[in-house]
């Protein structure tokens, strides 16, 4: 058997460079490269290997968490068919990636993490940044990755990659099992050599299957649909990842079943389609939530039914409501006691459509959907042109960005009040034009995520919408975007604090406590002094971005046009009125209110909470 003598790190990089995925006959290289920050735990091993393999692209980043966010966004924009590896040193570099790992796993997106680890031979322990425990010598901070990884391994011998790497790829390329994969690499073992078989480095193609559901269950689902009078579709992220959006539109048109969308599923239908009801749930539209409340049958397509989508299990109030779930994951297919159509969304919808030839909902039902669609579009236009302020409203900012963007451009966000407003208000015109990380809603994802999306498809303009809270947490990857010539348009909304949690605080009777960016009042000791004098424009300029400061809606529109003409990342700052909020529509979210309190405002909200709580349902 032919062998090649390499260090473990060199072998890992060469293996990764030769992994290919294929779906529907289309092949592409799985790994685009490696993000990383070097330290003593990975510089001599993975660092040397990357230097020795220049065809495997390496991008140095500024924050380990951010690099995982960039990799996650890249995978999401690529429909999980491409990925990045991320490397860090042992210690704080590694644990910085834990939040990113959780973000990837919760959103079921493939990311490979290669953190350095403590010395396998142990004789020099404790090394710098090593966590010592009196109960075991086989633990390090990298064990923190276990609960947030879909696959985890520590490679204490160089030959262990022969079994670990194929397993890592199995998980990364699985539509069901994918998420963060962590291979902890002891820093001494990274540099050790082994005679690896040449077969390890041969091109390997991983086929992404489109599984089909059980025939009997398909027949049962068709019977349920034919007997329904008010069926409703909930499109989730799986509808987009499986590239099922065109099939979904045909299925809806054939059957007359309206479509609602989760955060991950927004864009599965064009906003102006008469059967598109838009966002569902806590951040939903009136039409979607009213028709969900009355639905006698709900067809989930690639959704995991998060609490925002189900309005904390209050969205579906018909006492006879039943569920059919199309999902590649058995775990999600069985939710809500559904008929589980365990399979790929695209082929399952095709086959279900064939089984429903001749079926359609009533003309009145379809007309009602079309009416809700038009009424909502008129409400969106009202919010876009509110004429508030200055400072202007957040809805007007969204409207300006939506109007300035082209159909294939991408809006990206993750946390704060923006996701809810975007879910309701953004007029989605392309399946990949709306990119929200809302499985984990991780503050700091935005700018790094925007970089990942732009790298996945440079032909699209990427508009990163970020609040001042998230910006202050993680603006560092502006520097990486400048370094890599990755152009983003970042719309930085200054509402002087945590607007989303401020509103939530008010809703539970706390008046926005601890959510405003104010100095401390020396007389009262409370954070109720002057607004903190943060110069966001100066900060962004110092990181290398082109910066434009907008003051009102006309200047914001001008700034967006100027940003289009720029060839580098541009940051547009705009102040908004945090108290001018987009309403909630026909929905509710379960956030527990203190059962006892000295505050009258809290007691009042608790009474309302107990009343609303009675609408929550179990689906058995």
Question: Is there a domain that residue 611 lies in?
Answer: no
Are residues 16 and 120 located together in one domain of the fold? Answer: yes
Residues with Cβ within 8 Å of residue 453, at least 6 apart in sequence: 73, 74, 76, 77, 410, 412, 435, 460, 462
Among residues 308, 341, 375, the one where a domain terminates is 375
Question: Is there a domain that residue 36 lies in?
Answer: yes
Are residues 42 and 191 located together in one domain of the fold? Answer: yes
Domain extent for 224? 215-375
Cis peptide leading into residue 391 (ω within 30°) = yes
Mean pLDDT over 380-388 rounds to: 97
At 1, is the pLDDT very low, low, confident or very high (cuts 50, 70, 90)? confident
Whole-number Å distance between alpha carbons of 404 and 407 = 10
Question: Is there a domain that residue 607 lies in?
Answer: no
CB 450 within 8 A of CB 72: no
Whole-number Å distance between alpha carbons of 118 and 189 = 10
How many other CB atoms are there within 10 angstroms of residue 269's CB atom? 26
Are residues 135 and 255 located together in one domain of the fold? Answer: no
Could you give the C-alpha distances from 547 to 203, 445, 446, 447, 466, in angstroms and in order?
45, 20, 17, 15, 15
Question: Is there a domain that residue 235 lies in?
Answer: yes
Question: Is there a domain that residue 295 lies in?
Answer: yes
CATH of residue 571's domain is 3.40.50.970
Are residues 16 and 86 located together in one domain of the fold? Answer: yes
Helix ranges, 191-327 (H)? 215-227, 237-241, 245-255, 286-294
Are residues 259 and 288 located together in one domain of the fold? Answer: yes
Are residues 371 and 391 located together in one domain of the fold? Answer: no
Write b or e for each residue in 309-326: b if 16 or more Cβ atoms lie within 10 A of its Cβ, otherwise e. Answer: bbbbebbbeeeebbbbbb
Are residues 229 and 201 located together in one domain of the fold? Answer: no
pLDDT tens digit string along 433-465?
999 999 999 999 999 999 999 999 999 999 999
Mean pLDDT value across the chain: 97
Are residues 539 and 393 located together in one domain of the fold? Answer: yes
| Triad 166, 167, 168: Cα angle to 5° | 90
Among residues 207, 233, 254, the one where a domain terminates is 207
Question: Is there a domain that residue 587 lies in?
Answer: no
**Which residue's entry shows tokens 């695209």?**
346
Instruction: Say what angle helices 161-172 and 8-17 make with each other, to 10 degrees.
Output: 30
User: What confidence score (pLDDT) does residue 387 get?
Assistant: 96
Could you give the C-alpha distances from 329 to 111, 212, 301, in angstroms and in order?
19, 12, 11
Could you give the C-alpha distances from 323 to 153, 242, 292, 567, in angstroms and in order?
38, 21, 12, 49
pLDDT tens digit string along 14-54?
999 999 999 999 999 999 999 999 999 999 999 999 999 99
**Which residue's entry shows tokens 């509110």?**
386
| Triad 423, 236, 360: Cα angle to 5° | 105
Question: Is there a domain that residue 608 lies in?
Answer: no
Are residues 76 and 124 located together in one domain of the fold? Answer: yes
Are residues 241 and 327 located together in one domain of the fold? Answer: yes
CATH of residue 349's domain is 3.40.50.1220
User: What confidence score (pLDDT) does residue 83 get?
Assistant: 98
Structure-token pair, residue 19? 């992994």
> Got the DSSP string for 143-160?
GGGGGG-SEEEE--SGGG
pLDDT tens digit string along 522-534?
899 999 899 999 9
pLDDT tens digit string along 342-382?
999 999 999 999 999 999 999 999 999 999 999 999 999 99
The total domain count for the chain is 3
User: What confidence score (pLDDT) does residue 10 get?
Assistant: 98
Question: Is there a domain that residue 101 lies in?
Answer: yes
Are residues 361 and 435 located together in one domain of the fold? Answer: no
The CA dihedral of 261, 267, 268, 271, to the nearest 10 degrees, is 80
CB 269 within 8 A of CB 259: yes
Among residues 348, 375, 402, the one where a domain terminates is 375
Is pLDDT at 106 greater than 90 in this prediction?
A: yes
CB 231 within 8 A of CB 296: yes
Are residues 297 and 200 located together in one domain of the fold? Answer: no
E strands in 294-416: 297-301, 322-327, 339-342, 410-413
Mean pLDDT over 468-485 rounds to: 97
At 252, is the pLDDT very low, low, confident or very high (cuts 50, 70, 90)? very high
Mean pLDDT over 464-492 rounds to: 97
Q: What is the CA radius of gyration of the chain?
A: 25
Whole-number Å distance between alpha carbons of 262 and 305 = 8
Mean pLDDT over 9-14 rounds to: 98
């Amino acid at each position: 058997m032919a062998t090649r003598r390499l260090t473990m790190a060199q072998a890992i990089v060469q293996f990764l460079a030769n992994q290919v995925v294929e779906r529907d006959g289309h092949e592409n290289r799985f790994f685009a490269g490696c993000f990383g920050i070097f330290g003593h735990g990975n510089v001599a091993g993975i660092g040397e290997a990357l230097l020795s393999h220049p065809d495997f692209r390496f991008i140095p980043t500024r924050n380990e968490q951010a690099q995982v966010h960039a990799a996650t966004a890249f995978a999401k924009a690529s429909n999980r068919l491409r990925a990045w590896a991320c490397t860090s040193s042992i210690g704080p570099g590694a644990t910085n990636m834990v939040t990113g790992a959780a973000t990837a796993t919760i959103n079921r997106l493939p990311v490979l993490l290669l953190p350095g680890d403590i010395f396998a031979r142990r004789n020099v322990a404790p090394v710098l940044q090593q966590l010592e425990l009196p109960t075991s010598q086989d633990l390090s901070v990298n064990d923190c990755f276990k609960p947030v990884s879909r696959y985890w391994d520590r490679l204490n011998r160089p030959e262990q990659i022969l079994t670990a790497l194929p397993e890592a790829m199995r998980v990364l390329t699985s539509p069901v099992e994918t998420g963060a994969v962590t291979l902890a690499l002891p820093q001494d073992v990274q540099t050790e050599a082994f005679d690896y078989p040449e077969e390890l480095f041969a091109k390997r193609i991983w086929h992404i299957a489109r599984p089909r559901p059980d025939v009997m269950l398909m027949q049962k689902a068709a019977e349920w649909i034919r007997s329904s009078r008010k069926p409703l579709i909930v499109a989730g992220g799986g509808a987009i990842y499986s590239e099922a959006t065109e099939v979904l539109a045909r299925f809806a048109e054939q059957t007359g079943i309206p479509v609602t969308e989760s955060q991950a599923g927004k864009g599965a239908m064009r906003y102006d389609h008469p059967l598109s009801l838009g966002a569902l749930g806590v951040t939903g539209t009136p039409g979607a939530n009213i028709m969900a409340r009355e639905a006698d049958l709900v067809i989930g397509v690639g959704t995991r039914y998060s609490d925002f989508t189900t309005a904390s299990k209050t969205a579906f109030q018909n006492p006879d409501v039943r569920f059919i779930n199309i999902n590649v994951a058995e775990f999600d297919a069985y939710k809500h006691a559904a008929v589980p159509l365990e399979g790929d969304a695209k082929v399952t919808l095709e086959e279900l459509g064939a089984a429903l030839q001749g079926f359609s909902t009533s003309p009145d039902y379809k007309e009602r959907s079309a009416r809700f669609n038009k009424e909502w579009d008129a409400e969106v236009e009202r919010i876009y042109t509110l004429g508030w302020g200055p400072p202007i409203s957040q809805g007007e900012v969204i409207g300006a960005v939506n109007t300035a963007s082209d159909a294939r451009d991408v809006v990206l966000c993750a946390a704060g009040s923006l996701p809810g407003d975007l879910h309701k208000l953004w007029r989605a015109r392309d399946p990949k034009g709306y990119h929200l990380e809302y499985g984990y809603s991780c503050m700091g994802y935005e700018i790094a995520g925007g970089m990942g999306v732009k790298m996945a498809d440079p032909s699209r303009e990427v508009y990163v919408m970020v609040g001042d809270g998230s910006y202050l947490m993680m603006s560092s990857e502006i520097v990486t975007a400048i370094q890599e010539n990755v152009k983003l348009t970042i719309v930085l909304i200054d509402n002087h604090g945590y607007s989303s949690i401020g509103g939530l605080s008010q809703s539970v009777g706390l008046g926005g406590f601890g959510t405003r960016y104010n100095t401390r009042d020396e007389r009262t000791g409370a954070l109720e002094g002057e607004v903190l004098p943060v110069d966001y424009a100066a900060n962004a300029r110092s990181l290398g971005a082109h910066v434009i400061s907008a003051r009102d809606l006309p200047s914001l529109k001008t700034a967006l046009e100027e940003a289009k003409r720029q060839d580098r990342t541009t940051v547009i700052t705009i102040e908004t009125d945090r108290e001018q909020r987009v309403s909630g529509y026909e929905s509710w979210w379960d956030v527990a209110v203190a059962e006892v309190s000295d505050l009258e405002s809290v007691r009042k909200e608790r009474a309302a909470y107990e009343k609303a709580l009675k609408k929550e349902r179990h689906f058995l």
